[in-house]
Amino acid sequence: MYRLPKTIVYYSKRYDKYVTVPEGYLSDGATGAIDIWSEGWWVHDVLCDRGTWDDGTPVNNWQASQVLQDILKAEGRWARARYWFWATWAFGGGEARKNGMF
């Protein structure tokens, strides 16, 4: 498990929504993949754990995976962005998945 050292406030331009990951939040990292430092995993974990954006609007599995992809691309991780998008969408999602695949 990893503990977030500082709060992350992420704004998704794609969805015009915010996600806040509080300091101290716990994550298991990249399940089934090599762990890297990326804000994407923290944000994705919160979306999947909670199933909502900060404003309480439900987030679906596609959106959660898309946000992960957007963050990884912004960090310059183009290859990971692509295949981790599909892996998280197909096999992950938690509460976001319960809100629908799309």
pLDDT in tens, 40-92: 999 999 999 999 999 999 999 999 999 999 999 999 999 999 998 999 999 99
CA 60 – CA 63 distance, rounded (Å): 5
Distance from chain centroid for Cα 71: 8
Confidence at residue 1, expressed as pLDDT on a 0 to 100 scale? 81
Q: What is the pLDDT of residues 15-46, one digit of tens each?
A: 999 999 999 999 876 665 566 678 999 999 99
Please report, as a single letter, which amino acid is at residue 101.
M
Q: Tell me what pLDDT residue 27 has.
A: 83
Output the pLDDT for position 51. 98
| Inter-CA distances, 26 with 17, 30, 86, Å | 22, 12, 23
Pairwise pLDDT comparison (34 vs 99), residue with the higher score: 99
